[in-house]
Structure 1
C-alpha cells in the first residue's frame, strides 16, 4: 500500500518541484531565445517562447496547489481539490494557445520565403541542451507526482515531456537545415512542435473536463471495490455503486443490502465496517457514503408512501384499547419491506389467546399491513 500524504505535505512537495522547474525554465528560455536570435533559428526561438510560457503555468500550478490544500469549509464541504482540475484546464489552454501562435508564425514565414532564417551550428547545441533539461524535469516531476499521487504534478510532468519532444523535433529540423542548407526545414520543425504541443494541451483539457462532469473511476477498480464490499460480513448484496473523481480523490456512494430484521445499530456497524475496509484498501477514496437497505430497492416494491410510525401506533392503540391492553411505543417494531408493513409487538405481560386474536384481526385491517406478531417477556 502506498504511503498516504496530507494535503500540506502534498503542497510542500508540489511547491519544491515547481520552484525547481521554474528556475530551470527561466535559464533555458533565456538561452533558447537569445541563442535562437544569434543562431538564426525560428524553431529554437519558438521553443524558447514555449519554455517561457512554462513559467506562467508553473505559477498556476503553485497557486492551484496552495488553494487545493485547504481543508473543507462550510462553502466547500468536499474540499477544494477541484481547483487542481481547473488549473489543469488552464495548463491545457496555455499549451494550446502557445501552439497556435508558433504554428501561425511558422506558416507566415513559409508563405514569405524572404523571412526564413538559416540556422547555424550553435542552434543544434542549444536544441540538445533543451532536450536534456526538459527530459530531466519530466522524470523529476513525474516521480514526485507519483509519490504524492498528485494529478496536477503528473499533468505538469506531461507538459515537460511535450517540451522535450518538441526540443527533439527542433534539434532534427535545425540539424537538417544546417546540414542541407534548407531554411524552410527549420520552419517545418516549428510547425511540428506546435502540432505536438496542441495535442498535449487538448488532451489535458479533455481529461479535466471529463472529471468536472463527474466521470466514474476506472471500471476495473469499481468492480474490484464492489467485490470487496460484497465480501464483508453482514453484506448480502451490493448495488448502485457510484464513483466520481475529484482531482486526486475519488468519492463513492453505495447501497448495501443487509438482513431485513437486524437492529439499526447493527446495520450502522456493518456500514462503518464497509467504510473502514474501503479507506484501507483504496488510498484514493476520500469520502464514501453507505446506504443501508433491508432489501434490493431496485427490484422491491417502494415503501415511501406507506403510513408512518405515528399513524400506525395510533391505529394499534385503538386495537389494544378494545381488549383492555396497553403498550409502550418502544415495544413496537415496524419493518417496511417490499411495499408492506410487518409489525412486531413485545409486551411485558402475557396476553390471552382471545386478546391476541382480537388484536390481530384489528391490525390486519390496517392498510398495507402484511403481518403482526405479538410476543411477551414473561
Structure 2
C-alpha cells in the first residue's frame, strides 16, 4: 500500500508540474496572438489566440482532476476517484467543441468581408513562436503521460500538437493573405475551428466509452482469459468482464473448479487468479474472482433448492425417522446439477459384522431418495 501511495504522489506531482508549465505558455501565447491579431487585423491569429485561451481551461480541468483522482477511496467513492480524470476529459471536449464552432462562425463572417493584413513581421513571428513552443510542450507532456500512463495527460499532449498544427495553418493563411489572397486568413481560421472540433470529438468519444464501462481491447481480453485458463486447478474461465477506471483497469471473472474442493483450496485458486491477472495486465488494479463449481452461464440457478440451514433440518428429520441421527457426525452439502449431493461422515464404530458399509450406504441413499431436491450421496468413516 505504501508503494502504491508513493506512485500516486509522484504521478500527481509530475502531472501538475507539466500542466502548470503548459498553462504559463498557453497564457503568454494567447495574449501575444490576440494582441498581434488585432494589431495586424488577422482573424486567423485571433482565433488561434482564443484556442490558446481554451487551453488554459483544459489546464485548469487537468489540475483539478489530477489532484482529486489521486485521493484514496472513501465511503462515497469506494472504487476511488480515478474517474475524475475521465469526467474532466469529457468537460474539456465539450468546451473545445463550443470554441471550435464559435471560431468557424466568426471566420465565415470575416470571409464575406476579408480585411487586408498589416505588420507582417509581427504576425509571422508570433505564428512561428507558437508552432515551436507548442510542439515542445507536446513532446514533454507525452513523455510524462507515457511514464505515468495518464490518458488525460496524453489527451492534453495531443491538444498541444493540435495547437502546433493549427498555428501552421494560421501561418500559411497569413502568408497567403500578405501575398494578395486576403480570404486565406479566414479559411485558415475555419480550418483551425474544424481541427478543434475534431479533437473535441475524439476526446469526448474516448471519455464516454470509459464512462459507459466499455471493455478493454479484445486482444487483451483474449490473452487474459488464456493466461487464467492455464492456472492449476482452474477447469474453465467464463463471464470475464473488464472496464477502464481512469488510468487503471478493473475486471471480474468466473473460474470453474473441481466441485469437491475445500473452501480454503478454492480461495487459494482465487488468489492465484488475481496474481496472474495482474501480471498479464500491467494496469490492472482491481480483480473480483467468482469461484464456480459449474458453468453458471449454462446451468440454471438453484432458487428452488433449500439453503444449507433448511437442507440440514430436512436431512436431520429424515435421519431421525430412520434412527440414524446419532450415528452421523457431520454432513457436507454440494449443490450440483440442480440437486443437493450429500456427504455423510460417520465414526468407525458404526461398522459392525451385521452393518457393513454397503448396507449403511444403501439405507442412507434410500432415505435421501425420498427427499425432494436431493441427489447422490457418499459416506466416509473416520476415528472419533
State TM-score, norm by structure 1. Answer: 0.94
Q: 2:58 & 2:291 partners in 1: Cα distance?
A: 45
Equivalent residue for 2:375? 370
Matched with 1:173 is 173
Shift of 1:281: 2.8
Structure 1 35/307 Cα, relative in aligned 2: closer, same or farther at 3 Å? same
Look up the match of 1:158.
158
Secondary structure at the aligned position of 1:303 is classed as coil
1:361 maps to what in 2?
366
Is the 8 Å Cα contact of residues 260 and 295 (structure 1) preserved in structure 2?
A: yes
1:313–1:329 contact (8 Å) kept in structure 2: no
How far has the Cα of 1:19 moved from its partner?
Answer: 0.7
The answer to which of 8-17 and 303-312 deviates more is 303-312
Counterpart-to-counterpart distance in 1, 2:321 and 2:47: 94
Residue 342 (structure 1) shift: 0.8
Q: State the 4+ residue runs in structure 1 displaced beyond 6 angstroms.
A: none
Cα distance change on mapping 1:96 and 1:330 into 2, 3 Å = farther
- Superposed, 1:187-336 pairs within 5 Å as 187-326=186-325, 331-336=330-335
How many angstroms does 1:286 deviate by?
A: 1.4
SS at match of 1:214: coil
CA distance in 1, matches of 2:14, 2:329: 56
- Measured after TM superposition, the shift of residue 34 of structure 1 is 1.8
1:293, CA displacement in angstroms?
0.5
Once residues 264 and 24 of structure 2 are traced to their aligned partners in structure 1, the CA distance between those partners, rounded to angstroms, is 57
- Partner-residue secondary structure (3-state), 1:33: helix
Q: Are residues 327 and 244 of structure 1, via their aligned partners in 2, closer, same or farther at CA, if it must alter by over 3 Å?
A: farther
- Once residues 323 and 12 of structure 2 are traced to their aligned partners in structure 1, the CA distance between those partners, rounded to angstroms, is 71
Q: 1:363 to 1:243 in 2, by over 3 A?
A: same
Q: 1:70 to 1:83 in 2, by over 3 A?
A: same
**Does 2:142 correspond to 1:137?**
no
Task: Give structure 2 stretches of 5+ with no counterpart.
Answer: none
CA–CA separation in structure 2 for the residues paired with 1:342 and 1:323: 19
8 A Cα contact 2:116 2:177, kept in partner:
no
1:170–1:259 CA distance, 2 compared to 1 (3 A): same
C-alpha distance in 2 between matches for 1:220 and 1:129: 43
Q: Go from structure 1 to structure 2 and tell me whether the alpha carbon gap of 1:97 and 1:328 turns closer, same or farther (over 3 Å shift).
A: farther
CA distance in 1 between counterparts of 2:331 and 2:183 reads: 89
SS at match of 2:282: coil
Alpha-carbon RMSD across the aligned residues, in angstroms, is: 1.9
Is 1:348 the counterpart of 2:339 in the alignment?
no
Q: Assess if the C-alpha contact under 8 Å between 2:328 and 2:344 holds in 1.
A: no
Alpha-carbon distance in 1 for matches of 2:262, 2:376? 19
Using the alignment, how far apart are the partners of 1:207 and 1:83 within structure 2? Answer: 14
Deviation at 1:122, TM superposition (A): 2.5
Distance in structure 1 (CA, Å) of the matches to 2:329 and 2:129 = 80
Distance 1:330 1:45, change over 3 A: farther
- Work out the CA distance in 2 between the residues paired with 1:300 and 1:243: 23
SS at match of 1:6: helix
Deviations 1:24-66 (A, max 9, x none): 1122222212222233322112111211221121111101111
Aligned equivalents of 2:316, 2:168: Cα separation in 1 = 86
Question: What is the rounded CA distance, in whole Å, between the counterparts of 2:237 and 2:133 in structure 1?
Answer: 50
Contact 1:162 1:196 in 2 (8 A): yes
Long gaps (5+) in structure 1: none
Q: How far 1:274 moved relative to its partner?
A: 0.6
In the TM superposition, residue 119 of structure 1 has moved relative to its aligned partner by 6.3
Determine if contact 2:40/2:117 at 8 Å carries over to the other structure.
no
Q: Which residue of 1 aligns with 2:19?
A: 18
